[in-house]
Amino acid sequence: MHTPLKIAITGCSQGLGHALLEEFVKAGHTVAGCSRSSTKMQQLSEQFGEPHFFKAVDVSQEAEVAKWADELITQIGVPDLVINNAAIINQLRPLWEVPVSEFQKLVDINIVGVQSVIRHVLPAMIEQGSGVMINLSSGWGRSVSPEVAPYCASKWAIEGLTQALATELPPGMAAIPLSPGVIATDMLRQAWGEEGVAGYRTPAQWAVQAAPFILSLGAQHNGQSLTTPG
């Protein structure tokens, strides 16, 4: 019988975050989640109830992240596992046609948001002396394609940021950049269209394998650039 973990997930209202949330709850773990949608967070609160904790948070706003971090530690305790999943993709176009405002929003969510969560949650984990910080990367954090340069830039940043963080952690902890592989998410539909994602696993199908894999990660994987199986 596994020991129940305390898990925090950003961007848990849909896609990969929501699929992982359901698998973790099903397996008996306690989850604190956030997303920008107050409606969906209320729905999750009603669906799962205590001890789980869900709140509307825009990770690009540090004050909101700071408050959420304090509240989740109060509600569920210091997390054993944090998954920085919240991210957006740019509208498909050449880099020189991407408006500054769109580029800035993507950077603020995909990179600054991750650092804000690390900044406000990780110190308690370090004090506890254990924990795993997983930052969701992408195949586009290790390769490139046209018309998604801002997204590629953000995920390449996540790879470097996470591997650098791994060198700063005390023994017994881990920071891991994790690529989910190619999954039929709404984000991928935005990039490839409905036909483009045909045949790929749904988030729910992916999470059946991904959740136990993520739960198996520990200090021995610190700094490793990994991809979920399948």
Catalytic residues: 151
Which letter does DSSP use for residue 179 in this model?
E
Which letter does DSSP use for residue 78 in this model?
S
Q: Distance between CA 230 and CA 226 in Å, rounded? A: 12
Query: Which secondary-structure segment (H or E) carries 7?
Result: strand 6-10
Q: Distance between CA 188 and CA 138 in Å, rounded? A: 11
Helices (H), the chain: 15-26, 38-48, 62-76, 100-107, 113-128, 149-168, 186-197, 203-215
Q: What is the distance, to the nearest Å, from the Cα of residue 159 to the centroid of all Cα atoms in its chain?
A: 13
